[in-house]
Chains A and B, each alone.
Chain A
Amino acid sequence: MDIGSMTEPCITLSGITKNFPGVRALNAVGLELYPGEVTALIGENGAGKSTLVKIMTGIYQPDAGEIRINGKSVELSSPHSAFKLGITAIHQETVLFDELSVAENIFLGHAPKTRFKTVDWSAMRVRSRRLLKEIGAEHIPAEAPLKELSIANKHLVAVARALSVEADIVIMDEPTAALSHKEIEDLFDLIGLLKKSGKSILFISHKFDEIYRIADRYTVFRDGEMVGNGSIQDTDQNAIVQLMVGRSVDQVFPKQKVAIGKPVLTVEDLHHPTEFADITFKLNQGEILGFYGLVGAGRSEVMQALFGITQPSGGSMTLDGDAIAPKSPADAINSGIVYVPEERGSQGVVANLPIFQNISLPSLARTSRSGFLKLAQEFSLASEYSTRLDLRAASLSQAVGTLSGGNQQKVVIAKWLATKPRIIILDEPTKGIDIGSKAAVHAFMGELVGQGLSVIMVSSELPEIMGMSDRIIVMREGRIAARYDNDGKLSPEMLVRSAAGIEEVAA
């Protein structure tokens, strides 16, 4: 590959493999970055991009593979060693220190020193100002606490930090996710500046217009494998979308036809001051309603409002014609709405407790007698639902944390099914789980709607959203951007365009 390239790559990763319990996150992938060029890393959620970034920044150690910087084999054994070798990252959730000042954020870990080995604040401020000016951010005061800055300005501080360490390799992980149009333009100017100074840049984004604006090369990941790379100029958008989406959708998801019934849940004009607005939709009996969008489009936030975790500032919800306003998850569960959260580890399972206790948790009132536990009934409930979901575990007393991601997810779903809900909301239900469990979760969703339940599925994976949903709502920046019937005329490209805000070229 890259026969035409004149320059040598600044960093070469080859054969990188990384396994997590039950999942192979990366399978012998490769990546090359060239000085003065921007390489776009493209792939759906769960394709392995974040894992690769974590390996490049020394947070994870690869199980196999080699990393070369300027031809020399290196080991990125810790974040500090990555930092020393000139690799710096600007993360999705900018990892900086809110309570510290701008200058400190730029120079933490490598502050200029006076003769007495104390921090030279004036030099630090002067150099911070110079760096900020260099990147056209002289409006940011060097001594202001970071928490007073907007997200865009925090990014600029992160870029200044990258420049201050004289990093050769800059990783930008979805840097535009929370920026306005103007701010994105500024960021692109900045990237141009970095290119000119000879930095190698890895740019991770879902937005094709951005990729085509600034990237020179691209690498596409799918399911932990590298499926294609090349020069951006020589490749058109559709070819890349094709690489990303990969397999043909209808082969993997043999979704059954279920008769769609009358509306169950009606949501009218739901609002939140900072997270979403104008959310109106209906959910019918026996229907799978898909919510598609980029990460941070506000989908999870809407779902959490339906589940009573956040309180909307306006709007109404009706369930079977009765108005509901869940004030807590307990309220929502009582009215038959349950939620399988995206953050499985922190919100879904109680990792140290056994499987049966996780499954019986919301149903304790039923499995107990006047407040006293009935272990036999808990076990039989857990046994019934873990069998239905084809859970793979050594025993029901095993701690959930010892299971693979896929089996943990089955436990979460089992927990909710045991409450006999009306509506089940699944937020990225197959994120980070193996193919086998994915298929089981999908098959099960089909089974559920067959029994008259209604399902809302939030997913950023195109094959999943297109394979499973009856209708699809696309969200962008906290609002509904498009609605589609999944009727065979819908193409993945249409969804990607709506989500990323690319103008429709031809209908």
Chain B
Amino acid sequence: MKSLLRARELWLAVIIVAMVTAINFRAPGFAAPANLAGILNDTSILIILALGQMAVILTRCIDLSVASNLALSGMIVALVNAAYPEVPVQLLMILAVGCGLVFGAFNGVLVWLLGIPAIVVTLGTLTIYRGLIFLIAGGQWVNADQLSEDFVQFTRIEMLGLPLLSWYAVLAAALFFVVMTRTSLGRSIYAIGVNPVASVYAGINVGRTTFVAFCISGMLSGFCGYLWVSRYVIGSVEVAKGYELTVVAACVIGGISIAGGVGTFAGAILGALFLGVINSALPVINISPFWQMAISGAAIIMAVVLNARGEKRGNRIILRQTGEPS
């Protein structure tokens, strides 16, 4: 009676572990705790973004503006930090989340109130948000020497052997576990993805729930804006360009169905980790990092094919079967 859903995540976890083990044979030390912690840290931003994207995809929408949102929010906090270094970094983090929320809510409003398909809305805001970065920064970059020490160091503070950046991913995962499985909001997000019509009958406001999903995705993108600038110590128009597709890829590999309603927070995390492991393994086993894109592309295609097989459903049964199991 174990559900197929959970089995899918289990398989992905097994594949990741097998990959790590295999790479460890070629390059001893790859599976060492310190290296694994490094991989987790490198993948943290992707994990957080994938979780936000999952919420949107579950509602049968898609958010292609996450990377632009990240870059714009990141640029805003970077500029504030450069101009007013005395503003505490905690406040800047809240500012980043707030910016992301506004940009996400803008997507959500257009989808909710005007009923424009999410792919069109976020395709539009993808270019708008990125263009705005250029405008607010006047075409300039924000460099390492313009950022305050606090701003840069805050993601690097170690706690229990892991940098704060990793802890944020852990925190996001915990938060999602609670929201998706323990709150009515989480269950509503699933319900409207599985069956929007029946959700209306069950008294769920489909439009508003979709809006909230976009807000969640936006907030996390904004937060990642700060994380990105702090980690890579740069704010520019080029930050995270094209990253939206990597985020969608992580979700698809994690078994989150683009048709909505199917997928778990664990899937999103594992999908991100899968890409993260490949990313850090390639240089170690002497494969050109230029292979990474093709490999993740092939992984997406394979994941889609496999997911589709799992989702095939039977017709309703008319012929009376003798001894129907109950």
Chain A positions near chain B (C-beta within 8 angstroms):
57, 59, 78-80, 83-84, 93, 95-100, 104, 108-111, 113, 117-119, 121, 139, 141, 144-145, 147-148, 150-153, 178, 180, 183, 272-277, 296-298, 301, 477-479
Q: Does B314 contact A (CB under 8 A)?
A: yes
Residue of B nearest to A477 (CB): B320
Contacts of B316 in A (CB 8 A): 93, 151, 178
A145 near B200: Cβ-Cβ < 8 Å: no
Question: Quick one: given A99-B194, A118-B183, are A109 and B319 in contact (CB under 8 Å)?
Answer: no
A477 in contact with B191 given A111-B184, A144-B1, A152-B326 (CB within 8 Å) = no
Tell me how far the C-beta of B191 lies from the nearest C-beta in chain A, rounded to whole angstroms.
6
B262 lies within 8 A of chain A by Cβ? yes
Contact of B203 among A79, A93, A183, A277 (CB under 8 A): A79
Chain B contacts with A in 142-200, Cβ cutoff 8 A:
178, 181-184, 186-187, 190-191, 194-195, 197-200
Main secondary structure on B side of the interface with A: loop
A79 touches B326 (CB 8 A): no
Provide the residues of chain B in CB contact with A109, threshold 8 Å. 184, 202-204
Residue of B195, B201, B318 near A297 (CB, 8 A) is B318
- Contact A119 B183, beta carbon cutoff 8 Å: yes
Q: Which of B186, B201, B202, B315 has the most CB of A within 10 A?
A: B201
Nearest A-chain residue to B257, judged by Cβ: A99
Closest 3 CB pairs of A and B: A80-B203, A478-B319, A118-B182
A269-B242 Cα distance, complex, nearest whole Å: 58
Given contacts A97-B195, A108-B187, A152-B326, contact A180 B203 (CB under 8 A): no
A-contacting residues of B (Cβ < 8 Å)?
A: 1, 3, 5, 178, 181-184, 186-187, 190-191, 194-195, 197-204, 261-262, 313-320, 324-326
Determine whether the beta carbon of A99 is less than 8 Å from that of B190: yes
From residue A228, how far is it (CB to closest CB) to chain B in Å?
31
Whether A97 contacts B315 by the Cβ 8 Å rule is no
Q: Which of B181, B184, B319 contacts A298 (CB 8 A)?
A: B319
Known: A274-B317, A274-B318. A145 touches B195 (CB 8 A): no
CB distance from B309 to the nearest CB of A (A): 15
A461 CA to B243 CA, complexed, in Å? 59
Q: For residue B262, which residue of chain A has the nearest CB?
A: A99
Q: Give Cα A298 to B315, complex, Å.
A: 12
Question: Considering only CB atoms, which chain A residue lies closest to B317 in the complex?
Answer: A274
Q: How far is the CA of A119 from the CA of B202 in the complex (A)?
A: 16
- Report yes or no: A100 in contact with B191, Cβ–Cβ below 8 A: yes
Asked if residues A274 and B194 are in contact (CB atoms below 8 Å), the reply is no
Query: Chain A nearest CB: distance from B207 CB in Å?
Result: 13
Q: Give bound CA distance, A111 to B190, whole Å.
A: 14
- Asked if B320 and A180 sit within 8 Å, CB to CB, the answer is yes
**Are A95's CB and B195's CB within 8 A?**
yes
Nearest CB of A to B325, in Å: 7
Assess whether A275 is in contact with B319, with CB atoms less than 8 Å apart.
yes
Of B187, B190, B198, which is within 8 A of A96 by CB? B198
Does the CB pair A57–B191 fall under 8 Å? no
Closest to A99 in B: B194
List 5 A-B residue pairs with CB atoms under 8 Å apart, sorted by A's residue number: A93-B316, A96-B195, A99-B262, A145-B5, A178-B318
Q: B3 near A477 (CB under 8 angstroms)? A: no
* Pick from B202, B314, B325, B326: contact of A108, CB under 8 Å: B202
CB distance from A77 to the nearest CB of B (A): 12
User: With A79-B202, A274-B319 given, can you name 9 additional A-B contacts, CB distance below 8 Å?
Assistant: A84-B203, A95-B197, A96-B198, A113-B184, A148-B3, A178-B316, A178-B318, A183-B324, A298-B318
A145 near B3 (CB under 8 angstroms)?
Answer: yes
Q: Evaluate contact between A139 and B319: CB separation under 8 angstroms.
A: no
Check A83 against B194 for contact (C-beta < 8 Å): no
> Within the complex, what minimum Cβ distance (angstroms) separates B155 from chain A?
29
**A83, B203: Cβ atoms closer than 8 Å:** yes
Chain A residues closer than 8 Å to B190, beta-carbon distance: 97, 99-100
Kindly identify which residue among A100, A110, A121, A301 contacts B318, using a CB–CB cutoff of 8 Å.
A301
Which residue, A83, A147, A151, has most C-beta atoms of chain B within 10 A?
Answer: A147
User: Are the C-beta atoms of B191 and A108 separated by less than 8 Å?
Assistant: yes
Do B317 and A111 touch (CB < 8 A)?
no
Q: Contact: B324 with A97, CB < 8 Å?
A: no
Most buried by B among A97, A147, A479: A97
Contacting residue for B187 out of A78, A100, A148, A150, CB 8 A? A100
Contact A147 B313 (CB under 8 A): yes
CA distance A272 to B324 in the complex (A): 18
The answer on a CB contact under 8 Å between B325 and A296 is: no
User: Which residues on the B side are within 8 Å of A100 (C-beta)?
Assistant: 187, 190-191, 194
Residue in contact with B324 in the complex, picked from A84, A110, A180, CB distance below 8 Å: A180
A97 and B198 contacting across the interface, CB-CB below 8 Å? yes
The answer for the CA separation of A104 and B190 in the assembled complex, in Å, is 11
Contact of B315 among A78, A153, A275, A297 (CB under 8 A): A275
B50 to chain A, nearest CB (A): 20
Chain B residues with CB under 8 Å of A141's CB are 1
Is there an interface contact between B314 and A274, defined as CB atoms closer than 8 Å?
A: yes
A107–chain B nearest beta-carbon distance, Å? 9
A residues in contact with B200, CB < 8 Å? 78-80
- Whether A276 touches B318, Cβ cut-off 8 Å, given contacts A119-B183, A121-B182, is yes
Residues of A within 8 A of B325 (CB): 150
Q: Are B317 and A178 in contact (CB under 8 A)?
A: yes
B-chain residues with CB within 8 Å of residue A95 when the two chains form the complex: 195, 197-198, 201
Would B191 and A97 count as touching, CB distance under 8 A?
A: yes
Question: In whole angstroms, how far apart are the Cα atoms of A139 and B325 in the complex?
Answer: 11
Shortest distance from the beta carbon of B313 to any chain A beta carbon, whole Å: 7
Q: What is the CB-to-nearest-CB distance from A271 to chain B, in angstroms, rounded to a whole number?
A: 10
A430-B187 Cα distance, complex, nearest whole Å: 41
CB atoms of A119 and B318 under 8 A apart? no
CB of A300, distance to nearest CB on chain B (Å): 10
CA of A57 to CA of B178 in the docked complex: distance in angstroms?
A: 33
In the complex, what's the smallest C-beta–C-beta distance from B255 to chain A, in angstroms?
A: 12
Known: A57-B201, A95-B201, A152-B326. A477 touches B187 (CB 8 A): no
Instruction: Give the complex CA separation of A464 and B292 in angstroms.
Output: 66
- A274-B315 contact in complex given A104-B187, A111-B184, A119-B182, C-beta closer than 8 Å: yes
CA distance A3 to B44 in the complex (A): 73
B203 surroundings in chain A (CB, below 8 A)? 79-80, 83-84, 109-110
The answer to whether B326 touches A150, judged by C-beta atoms less than 8 angstroms apart, is: yes
Cβ contacts under 8 Å, A117 to chain B: 183
Query: Closest CB-CB distance, B33 to chain A, in whole Å?
Result: 33
Q: Kindly list chain B residues whose C-beta atoms are within 8 Å of the C-beta of A108.
A: 187, 191, 202, 204
Q: What residue of chain B has the Cβ atom nearest to residue A118's Cβ?
A: B182
Chain A residues, Cβ within 8 Å of B202: 79, 83, 108-109
Q: A98 to B316: give the CA distance in the assembly, Å.
A: 13
Interface pair A148/B184, CB less than 8 Å apart = no
- Give the residues in chain A near B181, CB-CB below 8 Å: 119, 121
Pick the most buried of B182, B190, B199: most chain A CB atoms within 10 A of its CB. Answer: B182
Using Cβ atoms and an 8 Å threshold, which residues of chain A touch B201?
Answer: 57, 59, 79, 83, 95
Q: How far apart sit A144 and B326, CA to CA, in the bound complex (Å)?
A: 13
Task: Report the bound CA distance from A178 to B316 in whole Å.
Answer: 9
Q: With both chains docked as a complex, state the minimum distance between the C-beta of A498 and any C-beta of chain B, in angstroms.
A: 16
The 8 Å CB contact of A99, one of B261, B317, B318, is B261
Q: Which residues of A contact B184 (CB under 8 A)?
A: 109, 111, 113, 119
Question: Which residues of B sit under 8 angstroms from A84, Cβ to Cβ?
Answer: 203
Chain B residue nearest in CB terms to A89 = B201
| Identity of the chain A residue whose Cβ is nearest the Cβ of B201 in the assembled complex | A79
Q: Which B-chain residue is minimally distant from A120 (CB atoms)?
A: B182
